[in-house]
Structure 1
């Protein structure tokens, strides 16, 4: 999602620690690998071997595999792999583009992963959450994410919802979480 990439470019610097909670075909992972450079680390998660393989192939072609740790488990386990102090976490929810549209991210697992990612953030760190409501299960997941985000303490986090006004209600939109302190 272009808006997510805008915010990631604004915050992520060479040497940072970041995560892609749903690597899919690897586009967010590649951007994050470019931003952190050789001195940084990206953890990229997906439960689908097809997604991990597509991401690996893209990173190999682009010469960015060295700074990426591909993790073939659900993002609800990200705290088992990722250390404290990350600068950014990218979530691109829904289904794998070009994959089985019946295999979608699960609201309960997503909310668990978001909670872990928020706790791992360094001050001024961000979580970008691209939400897709135009498929079965999408509206329910979006509602769960928004409910989770609304409960974040305003003294610790800023939370924004970004929607395009000239698109239908089913168009993808972004929730952005920033850790204040």
Structure 2
């Protein structure tokens, strides 16, 4: 460690971007499975560059519009494909191998959004499975779990249970969470693929 360097532990959202920056390369194909307000889509776009591709999904038109606005404000047009549908449709739309997929699970953040529209295990787990099939060797799936809302605990438990059962010979799975914070701090799950064929 360099003298004078101070390591600060990152919240799950920022740590997800650290993981992405370590793995995703220019020219890669990646997925934002929950576009939300567009921040992950924008970040992924900046990393894969003009020769890469970002597939961004959200079931809410408001989220797609928010993402489109953010991308337009940052002059990002060519390498992002927006899909106004749930991430359970990934298998129909994405055919290329991916180096990364990111999910922010919960509801669309914002003061005026409908917080009763949430992600659910019944669509999230199949979408994760679809991303696993598309994932390159050493590629990563990042799941940021927001669960302090009705229905959130069930999805959180289902996703963690799924990740814990992945074969350790085929996948490395990380769970990252602050444990001394109130109000259900987000949990980050990272799944990295060890082999091309599983």
More displaced stretch, 167-176 vs 35-44: 167-176
* C-alpha distance in structure 1 between counterparts of 2:65 and 2:147, whole Å: 26
CA displacement 1:72-121 (0-9 Å, x = unmatched): 11101101111242000000010001211100001110011011111110
CA contact (8 A) 1:21 1:45 kept: yes
Give the alignment of 1:36-55 within 5 angstroms.
Answer: 36-55=48-67
TM normalised by structure 2 equals 0.89
Corresponding residue number in structure 1 for 2:38: 26
2:153 aligned with 1:139: yes
* C-alpha distance in structure 1 between counterparts of 2:41 and 2:176, whole Å: 22
Larger Rg belongs to: 2
Give the alignment of 1:1-181 within 5 angstroms.
Answer: 1-98=13-110, 99-168=113-182, 170-181=184-195
Tell me, what secondary structure is at the counterpart of 1:177?
strand
* C-alpha distance in structure 2 between counterparts of 1:3 and 1:36, whole Å: 18
TM normalised by structure 1 equals 0.97
Tell me, what secondary structure is at the counterpart of 1:155?
coil
**Stretches of 4+ aligned residues off by more than 4 angstroms:** none
- Coordinate RMSD, CA, aligned: 1.0
CA contact (8 A) 1:84 1:121 kept: no
How many residues were matched structurally?
A: 181
Tell me, what secondary structure is at the counterpart of 1:66?
coil
Shift of 1:166: 2.8
* C-alpha distance in structure 2 between counterparts of 1:136 and 1:76, whole Å: 21
